[in-house]
Structure 1
Amino acid sequence: MQATQPRLSFWQIWNVSFGFLGVQFGFALQNANVSRILSDLGADLHSLSLFWLVAPIMGLIVQPIVGAASDRTWNGLGRRRPFILAGAIAAVIGMILLPNAPIFVAFVAPMLMGALMVALMDASFNVCFQPFRSLVSDMVPPSQRNVGYSVQSFLINIGAVIGSILPFVLTNVVGLENTAQMGEVAPSVMWAFYIGATVLLGTVLWTVFRTKEYSPQEYRRYKGVTEATSVPAKKAPLSTRLSEFSLLVVNMPKTMKQLAVVQFFSWFALFIMWVYTTPAITQHIWNVDKQWFDPAFIAAAPMVPETIIMAKGAAGDWVGILFAAYSVFAAIFSIFLARLADKFGRKLVYAGALALGGVSYVSFLMFQDLTMVNVNLLITDVTVPLGAVKLLIPMVGVGIAWAAILAMPYAMLAGALPANKTGVYMGIFNFTVAIPQIVSGLTAGWILSSVFENEAKYIIVVAGVSMLIGAIAVFFVNEPDAEIIHNAQGEQA
């Protein structure tokens, strides 16, 4: 007989996901600064999206492997925690080495070194991501899943806020330089990565040592899994394992297939935002001509004007503010997300959030205003174009969409997965995150150069249209555990 899984206190749920704050801190630093770093190291606009392909490719490879391995792991540290800790240590190494890519120029080209460190960081982040998702599914009972994934979304966005804004703070409060010559990395970005590495390791250690996973016997009892299905058989040959994995993909739950459509259009849009927001606002808001993003043009020019260098640095810092802003709004919305989902249903809340995000991307075109204004950000005053300030408005919608993307698909999916294969299916579900980013990476650069002639603001509009299509697709998703949650809420009442 299946025992009732005990409900967790708020702080137990908090501890389960606290390490994700640090992982997302590092991921946010990467999102806001990798395009900036790679551009400084010599990448052009068309190739930026190709370098960013490293991230989803690592996710595509790593997460299913880690998911399957964590399903089979039971040791003194637990089931998921060994992978979370190992991933964090590797990510810290990558975060320290990436901003130092120019140092290794005697051994390897800075661009290649940068790409290798991005690959290491992304592989490591993915080693952490999947076990954290599965840890919530393992530890949190069905009636608390909305809360569990909402808390995780909240912590993710707190980490993202701090990570996104950190280079700006180091420049405008601490006084570190935010500009760099071609082939170098700005000091403010370097120190941001060092601090991020420290935070990542510290928060992951908190989760590892403050969360006690269920024993194999407890897990089987709470999940209704027989011992025969939960204990792995003798390791099969590689060909057999690949065949079994292929069958899992083909026979994935219907809910996962339906969510995959939503995920495709959501993550296609997010990838565009992360890659092209910096050049988009540098061109559209700081009025820097697109030719200054062409390495061949820059190489042929006698010198890069100081005004262009300063504008790129200021725009790069402001991207951190914008990304921090959408993360703040996402964190705030995450507080209410579980209650809204309980009251109105996950699908309506999820679809509404994506639609608002799509409209917000499209509205980027409306906010060009070159008038320079002084802005008090509490920690410092800055002078920026008024259009840059107005871009905080669409960040509200982007933040709401981001909060929903981080929580709702996983809450909807968790009840559709067999308990003894949660890890591997959560890893397979990452295909729905990685594949759209790969498609975006292969096509967005071509669209930008061939269709929009490197006018980066228009590729942001493409992201908005994609997100709107995702919102429509939400209504075609089935939720298998909706009745369980409804009954549990009725019993508590």
Structure 2
Amino acid sequence: MQQTKPQLSFWQIWNMCFGFLGIQFGFALQNSNVSRIFESLGADYSNLAVLWVAAPITGLVVQPIIGYLSDNTWNRLGRRRPYFLWGAIAASGALFIMPNSPTLWFAAGMLWIMDASINVSMEPFRAFVGDMLPPKQRASGYAMQTFFIGIGAVVASALPWMMTNWFDISNIAEPGSIADSVKFSFYAGGSIFLLAVLWTVVSTKEYSPEQLAAFDAAQAQIEQKKDTNMTTRTQKQYTRGGSVFSVVGLILLAVIYTNIDALDKNLYILAGGLIAFGLCQFVAAYMVRQQYTQNGFAQVMGDLFSMPQAMRQLAVVQFFSWFPLFAMWIYTNSAVTSHHFGSRDTSSIAYNEGADWVSILMATYNGVSIIAAIVIPVVVRKLNLQYAHLINLSLGGIGFISFWFIRDPAWLVLAMVGVGFAWASILSVPYAILANVLPSNKMGVYMGIFNFFIVIPQILAASILGFLVTKVFDNQPVFALVIGGCSMLIAGVMTLRVNVPK
């Protein structure tokens, strides 16, 4: 039996990554249009963050679970492919239902279902590259995923505009209703999602457990070197951590409750998150005491506290990188329609023209990411991974901050060029580093845990951005993007601390 993974051809890598095209259709439609759907159903910008919090919370819960399960699955479809398929079927159904939501809270519930389903389909794709490709080709695999992310996001983000301008489908609806251009965009996206994932499921065969075991044995010495930072967390450490997080969360909860008129109710999300993480550590402490650690929950908690050093350092970078992205997805629609088009009336022509222009802006940064995916490897060869990431994140930070200074909405396209380079870098550089520092038998669960540091800043953004916009920045949503730009500049500087393998 061959002891090293064979290199795959270009078209084999193409086929194994093609499903990401459909997944990105789902995410792009969600990111570009959910705020518009919420506002059309009666939400105002001060409530958008708490409604949007469904997306990161579902990712926080779903991704490590799916990563753990897919690490330990093998059936007729394989290891990762069952989750691609099941998630795609559920997500496609949610995409068809979402734009027909009759009420705001129904739409909020559908966002939970839709985001959870997309995460079920997406999470195993990251580990899939590690499973199928030898170390030399992993960067190519992630670059191909970024390519499909860009293509899918460009088309999906522009779909409402295309429906209106190419197919003469109305982009205006009565108050409390959702425009037909949005509905037909979601129908198209749901169909493409399922078909693209089916292509990967049918065209790509996974290695058997015996083959993977042989590959792992051949790489055992390398994997031992990767995993030198792994430690076992004790009951005392879990209990101490649980106490700290629970107490801080309860104090914050009391402060919010007693000052609810001065503070924003979205801060309850932050307090609840701290308390929940504290309780999780108490549960883990109990399991350690009872020696009941051979289960998914205990293993995920243990792996969370024993990440490789490079992953710990990247976690900080991810935190400050994803905070501005969530600010963009929540507030770009409100910022552009109010700051650049001068309207907050969802039934007005100006508002809907602004909302359509936001779709173009979303398509722009995703389109630029396709070009950036080609440019970034060249920059990496000339400099290194850290400096390439620093440059790209700096471009993104400047792009976000410029939203305040740019008055002509046409020039916002230039700002989104910088965001596009940052987006492409965020999707590729951290994973290029991680792929060669993670133990292969835990590739799925660690990719899921790494998602924590994508989700946590999003929960924080949902908790505090509404407060900052309403209480500090005089109800001007554009300042959420300015804050995000500052955060992205910090992420770029923190990249220089990451120990990148040679």
TM-score, with length taken from structure 1: 0.85
1:179 aligns with 2:200: no
CA distance in 2, matches of 1:10, 1:2: 21
1:243 aligns with 2:308: no
Match of 1:383 in 2: none
Amino acid at match of 1:278: N
Matches within 5 A, 1:145-156: 145-156=138-149
Q: CA RMSD in A?
A: 1.9
Deviation at 1:126, TM superposition (A): 0.6
1:113 aligns with 2:152: no
Deviation at 1:440, TM superposition (A): 0.5
CA distance in 1, matches of 2:39, 2:369: 28
CA contact (8 A) 1:225 1:419 kept: no
Q: CA deviation digits over 1:19-57, x for unaligned, max 9?
A: 001110111011110000000111111110111110100
Matches within 5 A, 1:159-198: 159-198=152-191
CA contact (8 A) 1:23 1:128 kept: yes
- Pair 1:93–1:436, CA change in 2 (3 A): same
Amino acid at match of 2:305: V
CA distance in 1, matches of 2:486, 2:450: 23
CA contact (8 A) 2:64 2:300 kept: no
Match of 1:213 in 2: 206
- Pair 1:240–1:155, CA change in 2 (3 A): closer
CA contact (8 A) 2:15 2:204 kept: yes
Match of 1:11 in 2: 11
CA distance in 2, matches of 1:2, 1:355: 44
Match of 1:376 in 2: none
Matches within 5 A, 1:12-411: 12-102=12-102, 110-224=103-217, 241-288=296-343, 292=345, 309-368=348-407, 387-411=408-432
- Pair 1:223–1:277, CA change in 2 (3 A): same
Amino acid at match of 2:10: F
Structure 1 unaligned residues grouped into runs of 5+ = 103-109, 230-235, 294-307, 369-386, 483-493
CA distance in 2, matches of 1:243, 1:459: 37
- Pair 1:226–1:259, CA change in 2 (3 A): closer
Structure 2 unaligned residues grouped into runs of 5+ = 224-290
Match of 1:444 in 2: 465
CA contact (8 A) 2:161 2:360 kept: yes
CA contact (8 A) 2:4 2:218 kept: no
- Pair 1:67–1:466, CA change in 2 (3 A): same
Percent identity over the alignment is 47
Aligned to 1:400, the other structure's residue is in SS state helix
Amino acid at match of 2:388: V
Match of 1:372 in 2: none
CA distance in 1, matches of 2:34, 2:300: 33
Q: CA deviation digits over 1:426-471, x for unaligned, max 9?
A: 1111101111100111111111101111111111110100000000
CA distance in 2, matches of 1:226, 1:214: 16
- Pair 1:424–1:2, CA change in 2 (3 A): farther
Q: 2:492 aligns with which of 453, 471, 477?
A: 471
CA distance in 1, matches of 2:458, 2:304: 19
CA distance in 2, matches of 1:75, 1:432: 31
Amino acid at match of 1:35: S
- Pair 1:26–1:245, CA change in 2 (3 A): closer
Amino acid at match of 2:399: S
Aligned to 2:207, the other structure's residue is in SS state coil
CA contact (8 A) 1:225 1:420 kept: no
Deviation at 1:138, TM superposition (A): 1.0
Deviation at 1:348, TM superposition (A): 1.3
- Pair 1:238–1:182, CA change in 2 (3 A): farther
CA contact (8 A) 2:65 2:296 kept: no
CA contact (8 A) 1:146 1:338 kept: no
Amino acid at match of 2:364: A
Amino acid at match of 1:351: L
CA distance in 2, matches of 1:473, 1:399: 20
CA contact (8 A) 1:220 1:226 kept: no
CA distance in 1, matches of 2:463, 2:7: 45
